[in-house]
Amino acid sequence: MSGFAMRGTTAAAGAAVLLTGLITTAGPASAAAPAGTAPAACTPAVEVLPALPGQSGGAVRGFGAAGLALGESGGRPAYWTGAEHTAHAVPLPAGFDRGRATAVSAAGLLVGTAVRTADRTSVAFTHQLGSAVSTALTAPSAPGVEVAADVNASGRVVAVDGGVGKEWLNGRVVRELPVPADAIAGSEVVALTGINKRGDIVGTVSGSYFDSANDIQVTKTFPVVWPAGGGYPPYSLEVWNGYHASFATLGRDIDDRGRVVGLEAYHYRNDPRRTPAVWKKPYEALPTDPGRVPGYGHLEFDGSSPTTNVAVGTATEFEESYATSYRAVHWSGAGAPRVLPAPAVAPGAVPLTRAFAAADDDRVGGTVTDRQSQASDAVLWTCASKQAYTPEG
């Protein structure tokens, strides 16, 4: 998460199957309001944003100043500006043909992820708004492994590069992020998904080794917070379940207070589970679970606002291993999570929504997908806290 925006997806060789597609984050920008409430001037609305010319599909994954929203359109990185939400394409690094924008600094330094379809490799990239080019920041990942990236308001960028977590400033690596001393053998940083205004970083570490004495494979995937500046060792966040490949606990975003949101993902045969998780400083306790929304057995958090205590994500209902229904979720930081209304779509369409990003001015960004056609659009909720409601079970 950043002072203005944020985002990501996932990462990593040993944990690619569990992690790919699970990590996505975003966050935000603008004047603060009391926790979980809407600014007095905002107007409740659910807006479907226009796609880039000749494209379709999209999602909002982060926010910037002056109403800017960013994400992807037609599988390419994009951002939207102005009252009409004009769509603008973000150039991809040379040799890459798909991607998404995930965050932008106060000075207009945008970061994102680019994918090369030919060999399924990914890189994190940077783009200065107004420039004609983007620059690959990391080496290409292993095939099929996505890279997460974020930038905070002051332009500090984080991503995993060649299995090493790194922080950049002004295009130069200023810090490499160590694996916590208490991590199991074989552990490495597999994703960096958030950096707050202060410079605290959240990501995920995963490791696996064979315990020959007990004839078992030991695996642990867990969130880590690296304090700003590197003066203190990283914090290994507590998890409910660990040491088995069926569980992966993921930190997806960190707000300016240091609160981390994410989820525990469990998948064994045809029994997936998604449990929302929230960690607070001093990171000495197990995460808390704020509960579910009626009618949905699973929930995951993807993003949070910088200062207003809001978290957003997706409530899901599974049949065997397939997600049959999902709804965008808004949580004020207290009480139970609630859902956001779906936008009006074509007659006969069944809208399924997800939320990825939250801003201090009460905007929430995400996507809507028609269950039948699988067509999708980028969605923006304004005055989101005034629209969130508890559905009937």
Q: What is the CATH number of the domain that holds 373?
A: 2.130.10.10
Residue 88 in any domain: the answer is yes
- Please count the structural domains in the chain: 1
Encoded tokens for 166: 């790194």
338-342's contacts with Cβ under 8 Å and 24+ in sequence apart are 338/293, 338/388, 338/389, 338/390, 339/293, 339/315, 339/388, 339/389, 339/390, 339/391, 340/46, 340/364, 340/366, 340/381, 340/384, 340/387, 340/388, 341/46, 341/381, 341/387, 341/389, 342/46, 342/368
pTM for the model stands at 0.90
Q: Are 236 and 249 in contact (CB under 8 A)?
A: no
Give the separation between CA 343 and CA 243, rounded to whole angstroms. Answer: 41
Of 366, 305, 373, nearest in space to 48 by CA: 366
Sign, Cα dihedral of 75, 155, 189, 134: positive
The per-residue DSSP string of 81-134 comes to ETTTTEEEEPPPPTT--EEEEEEE-TT-EEEEEEEETTTTEEEEEEEETT-S--
* pLDDT-wise least confident of 65-69, 198-202, 254-258, 341-345: 341-345
Of 256, 340, 264, nearest in space to 301 by CA: 264
- 82-122 pLDDT, tens digit per residue, is 999 999 999 999 999 999 999 999 999 999 999 999 999 99
Residue 137 in any domain: the answer is yes
Mean pLDDT of 173-197: 97
Per DSSP, the three-state class of 230 is helix
**Count of CB atoms situated within 10 Å of the CB of 232:** 10
Q: Which position has the higher pLDDT, 7 or 278?
A: 278
- Residue 270: the pLDDT is 81
Give the separation between CA 241 and CA 248, rounded to whole angstroms. Answer: 8
Encoded tokens for 188: 């490495």
Share of the chain above pLDDT 70, in %: 90
User: Which alpha helices (DSSP H) does 179-334 contain, by range?
Assistant: none
Amino acid at 54: G
- Residue 324: the pLDDT is 84
Q: Residue holding tokens 């956001």? A: 340
Residue 6 in any domain: the answer is no
Mean pLDDT of 170-198: 97
Whether 132 shows a pLDDT value over 80: the answer reads yes
User: Phi/psi of residue 118, each to 5°?
Assistant: -60, -40
Of 330, 366, 311, 297, nearest in space to 60 by CA: 366
Q: Is the peptide bond before 282 cis (omega within 30 degrees of 0)?
A: yes
Mean pLDDT of 167-183: 97
Residue 4 in any domain: the answer is no
Whether 175 shows a pLDDT value over 80: the answer reads yes
Give the single-character DSSP code of 389.
Answer: B
- By residue range, what is the domain housing residue 112? 16-387
Q: Are 262 and 252 in contact (CB under 8 A)?
A: yes
- Residue 35: the pLDDT is 53
Give me the torsion for CA of 360, 363, 364, 365, rounded to 10°. -120
